[in-house]
Protein backbone atom coordinates (compact mmCIF):
# COMPACT_ATOMS: atom_id res chain seq x y z
CA UNK A 1 0.00 0.00 0.00
CA UNK A 2 1.46 3.38 -0.98
CA UNK A 3 1.59 6.35 1.38
CA UNK A 4 -1.31 8.19 -0.31
CA UNK A 5 -3.68 5.22 0.02
CA UNK A 6 -2.60 4.71 3.62
CA UNK A 7 -3.30 8.36 4.35
CA UNK A 8 -6.71 8.08 2.70
CA UNK A 9 -7.60 5.02 4.76
CA UNK A 10 -6.59 6.84 7.92
CA UNK A 11 -8.65 9.89 6.99
CA UNK A 12 -11.72 7.77 6.25
CA UNK A 13 -11.69 6.17 9.66
CA UNK A 14 -14.38 7.57 11.94
CA UNK A 15 -13.08 9.54 14.90
CA UNK A 16 -14.49 7.90 18.03
CA UNK A 17 -16.78 10.11 20.10
CA UNK A 18 -15.29 11.31 23.32
CA UNK A 19 -17.02 9.48 26.19
CA UNK A 20 -19.00 11.61 28.62
CA UNK A 21 -17.24 11.83 31.96
CA UNK A 22 -19.08 10.06 34.76
CA UNK A 23 -19.24 13.16 36.94
CA UNK A 24 -20.70 15.22 34.06
CA UNK A 25 -23.38 12.61 33.37
CA UNK A 26 -24.14 12.35 37.08
CA UNK A 27 -24.53 16.12 37.48
CA UNK A 28 -26.85 16.33 34.48
CA UNK A 29 -28.99 13.51 35.88
CA UNK A 30 -29.14 15.25 39.26
CA UNK A 31 -30.13 18.55 37.64
CA UNK A 32 -32.88 16.98 35.55
CA UNK A 33 -34.30 15.06 38.52
CA UNK A 34 -34.27 18.18 40.70
CA UNK A 35 -35.72 20.34 37.92
CA UNK A 36 -38.52 17.84 37.37
CA UNK A 37 -39.58 18.08 41.02
CA UNK A 38 -39.26 21.87 41.23
CA UNK A 39 -41.08 22.38 37.91
CA UNK A 40 -43.95 20.14 38.99
CA UNK A 41 -44.27 21.96 42.32
CA UNK A 42 -43.67 25.60 41.31
CA UNK A 43 -44.28 25.81 37.58
CA UNK A 44 -42.52 27.89 34.96
CA UNK A 45 -41.26 30.48 37.45
CA UNK A 46 -38.42 28.21 38.58
CA UNK A 47 -34.85 29.44 38.20
CA UNK A 48 -31.65 27.59 37.41
CA UNK A 49 -30.29 28.75 40.79
CA UNK A 50 -33.17 26.95 42.56
CA UNK A 51 -32.63 23.83 40.52
CA UNK A 52 -28.89 23.85 41.28
CA UNK A 53 -29.56 24.15 45.02
CA UNK A 54 -32.11 21.32 44.89
CA UNK A 55 -29.67 19.13 42.96
CA UNK A 56 -26.78 19.92 45.31
CA UNK A 57 -24.51 21.27 42.58
CA UNK A 58 -23.07 24.71 41.87
CA UNK A 59 -24.93 27.29 39.82
CA UNK A 60 -22.06 27.36 37.33
CA UNK A 61 -22.50 23.62 36.81
CA UNK A 62 -26.19 24.15 36.05
CA UNK A 63 -25.39 26.77 33.42
CA UNK A 64 -22.77 24.53 31.81
CA UNK A 65 -25.48 21.93 31.19
CA UNK A 66 -28.30 24.33 30.30
CA UNK A 67 -27.60 27.68 28.67
CA UNK A 68 -30.83 29.17 30.02
CA UNK A 69 -34.01 28.33 31.89
CA UNK A 70 -35.82 28.01 28.56
CA UNK A 71 -33.46 25.22 27.47
CA UNK A 72 -34.14 23.38 30.72
CA UNK A 73 -37.91 23.85 30.42
CA UNK A 74 -37.77 22.52 26.88
CA UNK A 75 -36.04 19.34 28.06
CA UNK A 76 -38.56 18.86 30.86
CA UNK A 77 -41.56 19.42 28.64
CA UNK A 78 -40.34 17.12 25.88
CA UNK A 79 -40.16 14.37 28.48
CA UNK A 80 -43.75 15.11 29.44
CA UNK A 81 -44.87 14.91 25.83
CA UNK A 82 -43.45 11.40 25.66
CA UNK A 83 -45.25 10.39 28.87
CA UNK A 84 -48.62 11.76 27.75
CA UNK A 85 -48.31 10.19 24.30
CA UNK A 86 -47.56 6.80 25.80
CA UNK A 87 -50.57 6.99 28.12
CA UNK A 88 -52.91 8.14 25.36
CA UNK A 89 -51.85 5.31 23.08
CA UNK A 90 -52.44 2.81 25.88
CA UNK A 91 -55.91 4.28 26.46
CA UNK A 92 -56.65 4.15 22.74
CA UNK A 93 -55.76 0.45 22.67
CA UNK A 94 -58.49 -0.43 25.19
CA UNK A 95 -61.25 -2.45 23.48
CA UNK A 96 -64.17 -0.57 25.10
CA UNK A 97 -64.59 2.90 23.50
CA UNK A 98 -66.10 4.40 26.65
CA UNK A 99 -63.30 3.05 28.79
CA UNK A 100 -60.76 4.38 26.29
CA UNK A 101 -62.32 7.86 26.34
CA UNK A 102 -62.70 8.08 30.12
CA UNK A 103 -59.25 6.60 30.78
CA UNK A 104 -57.64 9.10 28.43
CA UNK A 105 -59.32 12.08 30.13
CA UNK A 106 -58.74 10.76 33.64
CA UNK A 107 -55.04 10.18 33.05
CA UNK A 108 -54.58 13.59 31.41
CA UNK A 109 -56.30 15.32 34.34
CA UNK A 110 -54.33 13.32 36.90
CA UNK A 111 -51.01 14.20 35.28
CA UNK A 112 -51.73 17.91 35.23
CA UNK A 113 -53.21 17.85 38.74
CA UNK A 114 -49.86 16.64 40.08
CA UNK A 115 -47.73 18.88 37.87
CA UNK A 116 -48.16 22.65 38.02
CA UNK A 117 -45.51 23.19 35.37
CA UNK A 118 -47.33 20.97 32.93
CA UNK A 119 -50.61 22.81 33.56
CA UNK A 120 -49.00 26.16 32.89
CA UNK A 121 -47.18 25.17 29.71
CA UNK A 122 -50.11 23.28 28.21
CA UNK A 123 -52.40 26.26 28.78
CA UNK A 124 -49.94 28.87 27.45
CA UNK A 125 -46.80 28.34 25.38
CA UNK A 126 -44.44 30.42 27.55
CA UNK A 127 -42.10 30.69 24.57
CA UNK A 128 -41.62 26.93 24.27
CA UNK A 129 -41.95 25.46 20.77
CA UNK A 130 -42.62 22.09 22.40
CA UNK A 131 -45.93 23.40 23.76
CA UNK A 132 -47.34 23.80 20.25
CA UNK A 133 -45.80 20.47 19.24
CA UNK A 134 -47.53 18.90 22.25
CA UNK A 135 -50.95 19.74 20.87
CA UNK A 136 -50.04 18.86 17.28
CA UNK A 137 -48.67 15.47 18.29
CA UNK A 138 -51.56 14.50 20.56
CA UNK A 139 -54.48 15.92 18.59
CA UNK A 140 -54.70 12.98 16.12
CA UNK A 141 -54.82 10.47 18.98
CA UNK A 142 -57.50 12.44 20.79
CA UNK A 143 -59.53 12.71 17.58
CA UNK A 144 -59.46 8.96 17.09
CA UNK A 145 -60.51 8.26 20.70
CA UNK A 146 -63.38 10.77 20.53
CA UNK A 147 -64.63 9.68 17.11
CA UNK A 148 -64.67 6.03 18.15
CA UNK A 149 -66.73 6.92 21.22
CA UNK A 150 -69.12 8.99 19.10
CA UNK A 151 -69.48 6.19 16.55
CA UNK A 152 -70.48 3.93 19.44
CA UNK A 153 -73.24 6.40 20.38
CA UNK A 154 -71.60 7.32 23.70
CA UNK A 155 -71.06 11.05 23.26
CA UNK A 156 -73.21 14.02 22.36
CA UNK A 157 -72.93 14.80 18.63
CA UNK A 158 -71.85 18.39 19.40
CA UNK A 159 -68.78 17.25 21.34
CA UNK A 160 -65.40 17.22 19.56
CA UNK A 161 -61.79 16.70 20.54
CA UNK A 162 -61.36 20.48 20.28
CA UNK A 163 -63.41 20.76 23.49
CA UNK A 164 -60.89 18.73 25.48
CA UNK A 165 -58.23 21.46 26.00
CA UNK A 166 -60.86 23.74 27.55
CA UNK A 167 -62.00 20.88 29.80
CA UNK A 168 -58.40 20.40 30.92
CA UNK A 169 -57.94 24.13 31.55
CA UNK A 170 -61.07 24.23 33.69
CA UNK A 171 -60.31 21.09 35.66
CA UNK A 172 -56.67 22.18 36.02
CA UNK A 173 -57.98 25.34 37.67
CA UNK A 174 -59.49 23.18 40.41
CA UNK A 175 -55.99 21.97 41.29
CA UNK A 176 -54.64 25.53 41.23
CA UNK A 177 -57.46 26.69 43.48
CA UNK A 178 -57.78 23.87 46.00
CA UNK A 179 -55.25 21.16 45.16
CA UNK A 180 -53.24 21.78 48.33
CA UNK A 181 -56.37 21.18 50.43
CA UNK A 182 -57.84 18.25 48.52
CA UNK A 183 -55.48 16.85 45.84
CA UNK A 184 -58.14 14.54 44.38
CA UNK A 185 -60.87 17.17 44.05
CA UNK A 186 -60.34 17.38 40.29
CA UNK A 187 -61.97 13.94 39.96
CA UNK A 188 -65.31 15.35 41.17
CA UNK A 189 -65.41 17.93 38.39
CA UNK A 190 -64.20 15.50 35.76
CA UNK A 191 -67.19 13.31 36.68
CA UNK A 192 -69.52 16.27 36.17
CA UNK A 193 -67.92 17.08 32.82
CA UNK A 194 -68.19 13.48 31.66
CA UNK A 195 -71.84 13.43 32.65
CA UNK A 196 -72.41 16.50 30.49
CA UNK A 197 -70.77 15.16 27.33
CA UNK A 198 -72.37 11.71 27.36
CA UNK A 199 -75.15 11.07 24.86
CA UNK A 200 -78.73 10.85 26.00
CA UNK A 201 -79.56 7.46 27.47
CA UNK A 202 -75.96 6.51 28.30
CA UNK A 203 -75.78 5.42 31.98
CA UNK A 204 -74.12 7.96 34.26
CA UNK A 205 -71.55 7.12 36.88
CA UNK A 206 -71.75 8.14 40.53
CA UNK A 207 -69.77 11.24 41.52
CA UNK A 208 -67.46 9.66 44.07
CA UNK A 209 -65.45 12.63 45.42
CA UNK A 210 -67.29 14.93 47.89
CA UNK A 211 -67.17 18.73 47.59
CA UNK A 212 -64.99 20.93 49.77
CA UNK A 213 -66.27 21.60 53.27
CA UNK A 214 -67.18 25.16 54.19
CA UNK A 215 -63.90 25.51 56.10
CA UNK A 216 -61.88 24.20 53.14
CA UNK A 217 -63.68 26.55 50.78
CA UNK A 218 -62.83 29.53 53.00
CA UNK A 219 -59.18 28.47 53.06
CA UNK A 220 -59.12 27.99 49.30
CA UNK A 221 -60.66 31.40 48.69
CA UNK A 222 -58.25 33.07 51.09
CA UNK A 223 -55.25 31.35 49.50
CA UNK A 224 -56.41 32.24 46.00
CA UNK A 225 -56.92 35.88 46.97
CA UNK A 226 -53.43 36.15 48.49
CA UNK A 227 -51.87 34.51 45.43
CA UNK A 228 -53.66 36.82 43.02
CA UNK A 229 -52.75 39.89 45.10
CA UNK A 230 -49.06 39.04 45.24
CA UNK A 231 -47.00 41.51 43.15
Q: What is the pLDDT of residues 30-66, one digit of tens each?
A: 999 999 999 999 888 889 999 999 999 999 999 999 9
Q: Are 178 and 185 in contact (CB under 8 A)?
A: yes
SS3 (DSSP) at 155? strand
Whether residue 203 is found in the same domain as residue 107: yes
SS3 (DSSP) at 131? helix
The pLDDT score that the predictor gives to residue 227 is 63
Whether residue 123 is found in the same domain as residue 219: yes
The pLDDT score that the predictor gives to residue 11 is 47
Residue 183 lies in a domain: yes
Percent of the residues in the chain that have a pLDDT greater than 90, as a whole number: 53
Whether residue 109 is found in the same domain as residue 223: yes
60-88 residues labelled b (16+ CB within 10 A) or e (exposed): ebbeebbeebeebbbbbbeebbeebeebb
Check which CATH number belongs to the domain holding 35 and give it.
Answer: 1.10.10.60
- 124-138, 182-196, 200-214: which range is least confident on average? 124-138
Whether residue 159 is found in the same domain as residue 139: yes
* Residue 196 lies in domain: 75-229
The highest-confidence range among 61-65, 87-91, 178-182, by mean pLDDT, is 87-91
Whether residue 41 is found in the same domain as residue 92: no
Residue 182 has pLDDT above 50, yes or no: yes
Average pLDDT, the chain: 85
Whether residue 58 is found in the same domain as residue 82: no
Whether residue 146 is found in the same domain as residue 193: yes
The pLDDT score that the predictor gives to residue 222 is 86
Amino acid sequence: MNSSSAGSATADQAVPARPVRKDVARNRALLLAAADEVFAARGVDITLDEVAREAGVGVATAYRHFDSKQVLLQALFENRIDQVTERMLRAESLPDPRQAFETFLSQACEMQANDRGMREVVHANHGLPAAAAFRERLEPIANRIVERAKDAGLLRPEFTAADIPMMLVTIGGVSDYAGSLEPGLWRRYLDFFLDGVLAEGVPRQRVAVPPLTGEQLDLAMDGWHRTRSRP
